[in-house]
Amino acid sequence: MHLPKLFVGSAAFLLLAAAPGFSQTSSAAKPKTSTTHTAATYDHALLKPALLKATAPASYQVKFDTTRGEFTVTVNRAWAPMGADRFYNLVKHHYYDGARLYRVIPSFVAQFGINANPVVNTAWTNATIKDDPVTQKNVRGTLTFAKTANPNSRTTEIFINLKDNTFLDSQGFAPFATVDGSGMNVVEMFYDQYPDPAGANEQPKMEKGGEKYIASKFPKLDTIKSATIVGAAEPATKSASSAKPKS
């Protein structure tokens, strides 16, 4: 979707690009490394978004295995039913497997949702869902679908709040899940030293070229190796032993 946007789609950065303090710096931290992921075969059901309409459970967990380690999120359907259902269908059909954490802004958000395969990105460009009422605050660790300034514009892109971003609540961003336990220790290690794709106008190229393009231009970006529906949420006391150190 190629409209002026807040978080999702090709120009998903209207608010963020203009807001002070949200631009990235290129020298504030030591470079991190990532493992290049080659776009693999995909579930062909993803080419027909209109058919992926399963209703999600009242609560479910999704385990992310990334190039920085593993973390689990718990989804509460009551928080944002349409967002929870969309996420459930995307994860069930492995949409996020191989996706890069392509937009990580320190002390703000970590965003993902561009599929590794261009044909899949094309199929979901206009597969929007209706807005959910905002019932929860965009606090640190919550997951929220990105959207444009237009109503009912959410598709596949999600951001994880790296800090309390409650100013987003009044703008219609409806959290639907939260990172469990110490999982933010992993999330906060995602590579964040490339310039914001908003200013470089890179997101349309990422969507069109998929993993092949991203790997050639931004090889250090971290990758979601898999996102799968699992059982109980990670307990809050569990250590982040799976987190890989920054390099």
Q: 10 Å Cβ neighbour count for 225?
A: 16
Split at pLDDT 50, 70, 90, the class of 200 is confident
**Mean pLDDT over residues 224-233, rounded?**
85
pLDDT the model gives residue 41: 85
At 62, which helix (H) or strand (E)? strand 59-66
Give the right CATH number for 14-20+54-230 from 3.40.309.10, 2.40.100.10, 3.40.50.720, 2.40.160.10: 2.40.100.10
Q: How far apart are the C-alpha atoms of 60 and 75, rounded to whole Å?
A: 5
pLDDT the model gives residue 79: 98
pLDDT the model gives residue 192: 97
Instruction: Using a pLDDT cut of 90, give the percent of the chain over it.
Output: 74
For the chain, which residues make up each domain, given as ranges? 14-20+54-230
**Mean pLDDT over residues 115-144, rounded?**
98
Residue 52, pLDDT above cutoff 90: yes
**Mean pLDDT over residues 32-44, rounded?**
61
Q: How far apart are the C-alpha atoms of 9 and 203, rounded to whole Å?
A: 8
Split at pLDDT 50, 70, 90, the class of 39 is low
The alpha carbon dihedral of 97, 103, 104, 110 has a sign of negative
Higher per-residue pLDDT: 186 or 237: 186
Q: How far apart are the C-alpha atoms of 195 and 13, rounded to whole Å?
A: 13
